[in-house]
Amino acid sequence: MQTVRFELEVYSFQIDFIGHVNNTVYVQWMEIGRTKLLEAIGMPTHEIFQQGFVPVLVQTNIAYKAPLYLGDRVQVEMWISDLRNASAIMQFHFRNAEGTLTAEGWQKGLFADRDTLRPRRLRPEERVLFLPYVHA
């Protein structure tokens, strides 16, 4: 069971008018996580289009638990909780430097044909690359 883990610093441009990380920044951090997952399985985004499919987001859900502030470091962890033939659910945890859960969320992604943007099933050799990151 593997997860994607990385740490980021909170910068001034990520802070909203009440002094904590803006809610939209978490969606950007999720994008970084998805990119790192694709890199980890050997499908970096600059090569994935050559394989005939593209990952498309269809849903995002985030529950905010505690604020992050300027100068904080955020620890991001992600994994796949459900891998279907043409879609996946990705889970995310965001923690501060003390390990406190500051937010958690999930995204549903669809594997789509690069040309038609219609759902496309993963081939067995593609699916197996994701399996180490799948756990409930």
Q: How far apart are CA 105 and CA 63, in angstroms?
A: 6
- DSSP-based three-state secondary structure for 30: helix
What pLDDT score was predicted for residue 52?
A: 80
**Domain carrying residue 104:** 4-131
Q: What is the CATH number of the domain that holds 122?
A: 3.10.129.10
Q: Which of 71, 69, 65 is nearest to 94 (CA)?
A: 65
66: Cβ–Cβ under 8 A, 6 or more apart, which residues? 96, 100, 101, 102, 103
The number of folded domains in the chain is 1
CA distances from 24 to 27, 28, 45, 135 (A): 5, 7, 22, 26
Residue 136 lies in a domain: no
Residue 73 lies in a domain: yes
State the pTM of this model.
Answer: 0.94
96, 42 contact by CB (below 8 A) = no
Residue 91 lies in a domain: yes
What pLDDT score was predicted for residue 47?
A: 80
What pLDDT score was predicted for residue 36?
A: 97
Write the pLDDT tens digit of every residue in 46-69.
787 777 888 999 999 999 999 999
What pLDDT score was predicted for residue 122?
A: 93
Q: Identify the segments of the chain with pLDDT beneath 50.
A: none
What pLDDT score was predicted for residue 45?
A: 81
Q: How far apart are CA 110 and CA 117, in angstroms?
A: 10
